[in-house]
Structure 1
């Protein structure tokens, strides 16, 4: 695993000061597909309880997302760790569904090993296509919580909205995995999403076993959800209030299982 410094040339859209640059660590790691992918750790809040493992949307990379990560992490008082999918940015290879799952596994493994985080301090955040690897990982590993931002049920359901079942040729079958998620999930979706219909968010929410109150943004599309004031407020409540409460309840239930009644 190689670590790098972030350098911006004069043409960069965002020119960070030294304070922002000092909180960003860039690294490359190898996936199980033997591809090297880029990762970024944004250390906004060193004492934070949670770190967001952020799987970004399509047609962007870490360079384009870095300013958003700094702003979001600062406002949520969380650290953010993200990665570029195979074939995105400077990551090797090309984008495939199989690579998506190996990419997110490599990112999760890096948080556990290099940064020493336990799974109960990691919040998985997936946006659009990023909800695909997020759901796949959440279905296999219990974490502190999961945020699904404009999720899709499956690839074919995006283009064929009346499809009621998953066919063998369908890609990204997230709707068939969400029932395995054992972590609390918050779903965010705009009601006027022109790319992934609002119905996808409703169905994902309905099929997920452990959920908190969703955020249905009236009038929001696919790419402007973050511009609504409710977006940040709802995330803060999820991270500051609901996740700690869920963890306390789980710990209390675990303690009760070890109580042995006196005869």
Structure 2
């Protein structure tokens, strides 16, 4: 009975587009791999990665020359790289990050069949590629999980102690909880995010639509409540499961989150500083200690105090204060909060593709739906 239920849950979880929305070809002149039916771009690498399960998955890496952080994006159900390609390139541009997206086994032109364990192997292969091929460090990586993609994202997050941050977009508590309002975790359930989220040590942003008809907003809210390092969530009023990218608040909030994360020290730095100065108090209100902090040399002044770091990681309000003290370099970067001004200041070539309206059009044209197939499948069961 348990095995049958587990197989049923796995069946509900994976619905790759059939047929795939894209093909892969190799340019004769350059030998570079390309996604078919899209305009080739020099800032996008297309590659095939071999997972520890023996499958060969397709991945894309979008390079941004001004980026200090890299987003590893796990997309939702009923989508593949052909549908996500333009969205990935636009997000990289708008957010000022490098971005790697990949197809799960059995999706698009990736070989094998999708399963929970295969998706874990898939994201592991993508992350390994970031480390070995592009030199991306763990502390400079943000994991982004959309809907079903929240499963592999959180599985990897609990294994990366120095991870910079996590974004959960319309996440699920678990596979079974999408279909049934169970109150406990069963062994045969898949993507047990509800049990993994408390183990994530980095800041977590949760984005969910209040009118999500596929994965109720209560999933996102409960996951946010269970986070150790809560960042101000985004509950998009009226948003459903497939259209959150159409809301201007979506990009604005993501941009604000990225800017805050760039200013926060990574977990590794905080640990090293705590080891170097164990005598430095974290929660003391002693007046003499405060004097000592203010009288430190210029080098120490340039560093954020351990207490301030601790507060900034535990308090959204402190992060807001940190953002208001951004240096001139940060002010010079593109601001999604002032999307209109940014568009007016960009040159003609960037203006043509740096449009939020275009991103919205892409989402509309793709008609992405991540686990919409769960409902009819559950009804049949």
Q: Is the 8 A contact 1:184 1:246 kept in 2?
A: no
Equivalent residue number for residue 169 of structure 2: 149
TM-score (norm 1): 0.90
1:39 paired with 2:59, answer yes
Equivalent residue number for residue 264 of structure 2: 246
Cα distance between partner residues in 2 of 1:72 and 1:231: 11
Inter-CA distance 148–260: structure 2 relative to 1 (3 Å threshold): closer
Cα distance between partner residues in 1 of 2:82 and 2:51: 20
Q: Is the 8 A contact 1:140 1:180 kept in 2?
A: no
Equivalent residue number for residue 66 of structure 1: 85
Inter-CA distance 108–248: structure 2 relative to 1 (3 Å threshold): closer
Equivalent residue number for residue 98 of structure 1: 117
Which structure carries more helix by proportion? 2
Structure number with greater CO (CA < 8 Å, separation at least 6) is: 2
Inter-CA distance 159–5: structure 2 relative to 1 (3 Å threshold): same
Cα distance between partner residues in 1 of 2:213 and 2:269: 41
Inter-CA distance 252–166: structure 2 relative to 1 (3 Å threshold): closer
Unaligned runs of 5+ in 2: 1-25, 281-381
Query: For 2:42, which of 22, 25, 40 is the aligned residue?
Result: 22
Cα distance between partner residues in 2 of 1:126 and 1:7: 22
1:259 paired with 2:277, answer yes
Equivalent residue number for residue 70 of structure 2: 51
Inter-CA distance 195–154: structure 2 relative to 1 (3 Å threshold): same
SS of the residue corresponding to residue 255 of structure 1 reads helix
1:5 paired with 2:23, answer no
1:131 paired with 2:150, answer yes
Superposed, which structure 2 residues align to 1:79-118 within 5 Å?
A: 79-118=98-137
Q: Is the 8 A contact 2:69 2:262 kept in 1?
A: no
- RMSD over aligned CA atoms reads 1.9
TM-score (norm 2): 0.63
After TM superposition, give the deviation of residue 185 of structure 1 in Å: 0.5
Cα distance between partner residues in 1 of 2:268 and 2:52: 33
Query: For 1:159, which of 165, 168, 179 is the aligned residue?
Result: 179
Cα distance between partner residues in 1 of 2:160 and 2:221: 23
